[in-house]
A and B are shown apart, each in its own frame.
Chain A
Amino acid sequence: MTQKFYDTIIIGSGSIGTPLAWQLSEAGQKVLVIDQFASSGQGSNKEAIGGIRATHSDPVKIQLCLKSLEVFSSWKEKYGDDIGWKQGGYSFVAYRETEEKTLKDLLVIQKKLGLEIDWYDNQDFLRIIPSLNPRGLLGGTFSPGDGSASPMLANLAMERMARAGGAEFHFQEKIECLKTKGDKVIGVKTDKEDYYASTVVNAAGAWAKEILLELNILLPILPESHEGGITEPVASFLGPMVVDIHPLENSANYYFYQNHTGQVIFCITPNPSIPGMDRRESSGFLPLVTRRMINLMPCLRNIKVRRTWRGLYPMTPDGQPIVGQLNGISGYLNAVGMCGQGFMLGPGLAVELRKWITGGDIESATKLLAPYTLYRDFGGTEQLK
């Protein structure tokens, strides 16, 4: 058998791997994407609800997501596919002074970083989201530049572009181990074949940890499961993503928006979190999330829930991604631990990793992504996860 050589092998055809394949193949690289599932996006990409915001508190995330927003918002115009982009903005609501303070404190940092976001008092805020429960509403922040897209459609569109650029996709193929030579990763061994490449990128999301186990490297990734749901489509009534960060019994924040088809997509962060790889739906989610949503937006009582699912957040101890090289080992890059934000980070990260991998502007990319090194102190936590 002849050996198969690629410039870059990407493990995982999800929210990170697929845009990266597109970016690298566009740069002229010979790319192979290997995924354990039957088609692209079948891991956690399709479980994502589709929100895309630049309004974070971490400067790197802000920069990456601004790039992602650019990709998502101009996709149809540039490449033709309808990926369900909707620029509805993001809103964070406050019904208590605690949340008002958190949001307003954050606003200072976000404005300093040049983000388009403002605080609106209750009546002004109701003009942006008329269906909110007015009782006790203090106000909230609104960032009109943020938006949403369909993770599945976006992933398929990027796969299409990657293939157009010559990228190969191998599905239903499992990585058995990385192939190394001395202190260099030279390829991967799968349950079907061996492949060789100058660079191997681990973009395996919640499944990323296993890839490095044989090298005795432990990625601090602890997948957690979150559940989401989608309703029937209704006439447009809700512009932005609505996020409520008020923690209550059994849940931290929750968020929902009306997508391009008119359906409301929603998700809740369980408290305490549910560690593990369980992707099977549980009975507690719907009563918990629907009650909170109706309290916030009473008209939702009449909307019908269509489907619910459960997906994985590959969490890191500090809530920030792990991107970059391994110490003392070349030919390998991490692009893992997206903590549930892989979809919005994906295209932006791909643009940066393209520079890194193809040698375009290594310096700026490595500098930007330096805080995401595996060798950082994982002590800190991000304010708005």
Chain B
Amino acid sequence: MTQNRLTTHPILPIADRDVFDFKWSGLVFQACAGETIASALFANGVRIFGIHPKDGSPQGIFCANGQCAQCTVVANGIPVKACMTPIRPGMVIEPLNTLPKLPHIQIQPQYTPVQNLDIDCMIIGGGPAGLSAAIELGTRNISAILVDDKDQLGGKLVLQTHRFFGSINACYAGTRGIDIATRLAKLVSEQASIDIWRNSTVVAVFSDQKVGVVRNNNEYVLVKPKVLLVAAGAREKSLTFKGNTLPGVYGAGAFQTLLNRDLIHCSKRLFIVGGGNVGLIAGYHALQAGIIVEGLVEALAECGGYKVHKDKLARMGVPIFTSHTVLSANGHDSVESVTIAAIDEKWKPIPGTEKTYPCDTLLIAVGLDPVDEFSRKAKEYGIPTFAAGDSDEVAEASSAMFSGKIKGLEIARSLGYDVPKVPEEWIKTSEILRSKPGAENKEPPIVEEEDVYPVIHCSQEIPCNPCTSVCPQSAIYIDDLDIRHIPEYIGKQLGVHCIACEKCVAICPGLAITLVDRRKQVDETALVTIPYEFGKETIKIGDQVLVVDTGGSVLGRVEVVRTRLAINTDRTIMVKVRAPLVIANKIAGIEIQNPEICASFEQFVERLTDDMVVCRCERVSLAEIKAIISSGVRDMNQIKAITRAGMGACGGKTCGNIIKRAFRDLGIPMTQITEPVARPLFVEVSMGVLAGITTESGEE
């Protein structure tokens, strides 16, 4: 009953779950309780959920977030989004290979009137920003409804197995995302004035200042808030390249959802497009789950994400190709390989540099756009509206938490409550937390006069300070006023000694601190403690491991002499190796994946079909869009009318920005372009729900 399910994970607990049968296309499969239809299908090796009625192209998971409709399947006769619908015992599921048939019903149902609610504040989104705002309001006993479309609060935090960056005082830095989610959710649930609506989706904002919500996935409610806080996060940008809609091409969010939330071993070989934090972290998560990460391409000359994230991936043996782009995802009806190429200074692929790598999954992590449709409509209709977290400005989750906290206070003030103004230092902290990675310096100097000392492989200015807080000697220093500075070991200045407690090694979110112990030198060797977040069964005393430097260059093969997993190391294994003195200070990590398994094909694969798709819902190609723009069309409403791009289920959430990019590529300034009119609904809703039907569908 394991199929493609994780059986073990270094960080995530894998509980025993009830197992039951369901039917897919006539075959009997097994599902685990709590899985969505999509995850159950993936677990059974199915990732083509249907074919598109327009061109017969295979359809599958894309957003895994309820936003598009590409994962639609027919469950018990009703078309549903596979990624949002829990699987139930005995469900009969069919692929959607043609337009769905409406089940014949002749009985008039019962209704209840659609509920109308007047409230002080509505928070859209129960992620780091929304939860933090709710805590600010709740602790002041200000009432609010927090609406989230998932079963579990925490937003994207619930997908993050790694320790968080940021400030240990301001936003739980050093704690894993999954655990921050639990803590924040618990705090919010303790607030009597906060009403939490889980499994509830905001589907529209209307001109009469009412917000349409589908509560509990089945009840339509119209809420009129005095203040709206949009903390709905961000959505992943899309890229157009040949084969960009093949099943197996999806965003990092979808990948992390399948892997870290639903515990599905959803790939065997993964290739990543985009070297920002999202792509780098997703690569790390893949390795933790035993997935081969074939490589990562980044169009810029340097990865945009934190250097510690990039180094971590490089150390583990993932090839990183900067100044490269993806040319095509290849495969007949799902991804079988990816072709990449180097690009010149004009971003054009350089002929002769093409390479093809085998992979079953191509992960697109090329940046995020704020989810701003709620704010735009709410502002248009005069609802006092705040935005927090990524919906306000795309940044790290640490920043989202702090931004939620600030907006919570601002909302309290705007509702007329007697609360203090947002303190200056909060604003300063918030600026620091959302700052982009800064200058790269040299790694801090190593204090070699001592026998035991930490080596800090952290050389880029990022907002992060957990290492300073755990040292019992207070011997790691970052200026509290600006936690972006590089940490420094200052034992000598303070006149104290490192006691080799390994706490700094364990807590560093970048896995960028090691501990060198020269007290028991044998044959010019030292003991080096390395943080390790892979399964404990993968490393044992006596193992010979390849150790690498900060950037991933192999230093040599050394012996593991101790492994330690304690409560205070929180699932990070302290691996002690005995290494020659000459390399001891340089060791930064252990190679996880032999780079040789990431070899490209001898000859690159060229995808011949020109299927760069802009609008996934209506299958509109980039060539069509560009031809229309070239013919003189400047009104995006007209593009929509002609091609149907943006008329699909998702409402232009993905294609809108790609079309704007097409205008830009053709040298047409935004001032000449008319933006499309945004209309509700943001997400499709069945008529029965909108009408207020009280009985379950198909019950009669």
- Residues of A at the B interface (CB closer than 8 Å) are 37-42, 46, 130-131, 133-135, 152-153, 156, 171-172, 231-237, 262, 278, 280-284, 286-287, 290-291, 293-295, 298-309
Contact = CB atoms under 8 A, between A and B. Distances in A.
B99 interface: yes
Interface stretch (B26-34, B324-332, B532-540, B630-638): B630-638
Given A232-B649, A281-B207, A152 B686 contact: no
Contacts of B635: 37-39, 42, 171
A280 B677 CA distance: 11
B105 A308 contact: no
B86 interface: no
Contact of B106 (A40, A156, A298): A298
Contacts of B691: 287, 290-291, 293-294, 301
B685 A291 contact: no
Contacts of B210: 283
A304 B201 CA distance: 15
Nearest to A230: B647
B84 interface: no
Nearest to B102: A299
Contact of B687 (A46, A237, A294): A294
Contacts of B647: 307
Contacts, number: 155
A232 B53 CA distance: 13
A237 B102 contact: yes
Interface in B79-108: 79, 98-108
Nearest to A40: B638
A298 B103 CA distance: 10
A303 B207 CA distance: 25
Contact of B78 (A37, A40, A172, A302): A302
B109 A294 contact: yes
Interface in B664-700: 674, 679-681, 684-688, 690-693, 697-698
Interface residues of B, number: 53
Given A133-B108, A301-B105, A39 B633 contact: yes
A14 B59 CA distance: 37
Nearest to A286: B690
B681 A39 contact: no
B114 interface: yes
Chain B contact residues, majority secondary structure? loop
B617 to A, nearest CB: 10
B208 interface: yes
B681 A287 contact: no
6 contacts: A235-B98, A237-B101, A283-B210, A286-B220, A298-B106, A308-B679
B99 A283 contact: no
B641 interface: yes
A189 B114 CA distance: 50
User: Counting chain B CB atoms within 10 Å of each CB, which of A281, A283, A303 scores highest?
Assistant: A283
B693 A46 contact: no
Contacts of A300: 102, 687
> Closest 6 interchain pairs by CB?
A301-B688, A280-B207, A38-B674, A39-B635, A38-B635, A304-B684
Contacts of A282: 206-208
Contacts of A284: 208
A235 B684 contact: no
Interface in B511-554: none
A283 B207 CA distance: 7
User: Counting chain A CB atoms within 10 Å of each CB, which of B204, B635, B681, B691 scores highest?
Assistant: B691
B207 A294 contact: no
Contact of B681 (A37, A135, A236, A307): A307
B212 interface: yes
A40 B637 CA distance: 10
Contact of A301 (B634, B680, B686): B686
A301 B693 CA distance: 8
A132 to B, nearest CB: 9
B684 A306 contact: yes
A280 B649 CA distance: 21
Contacts of A280: 206-207, 380-381
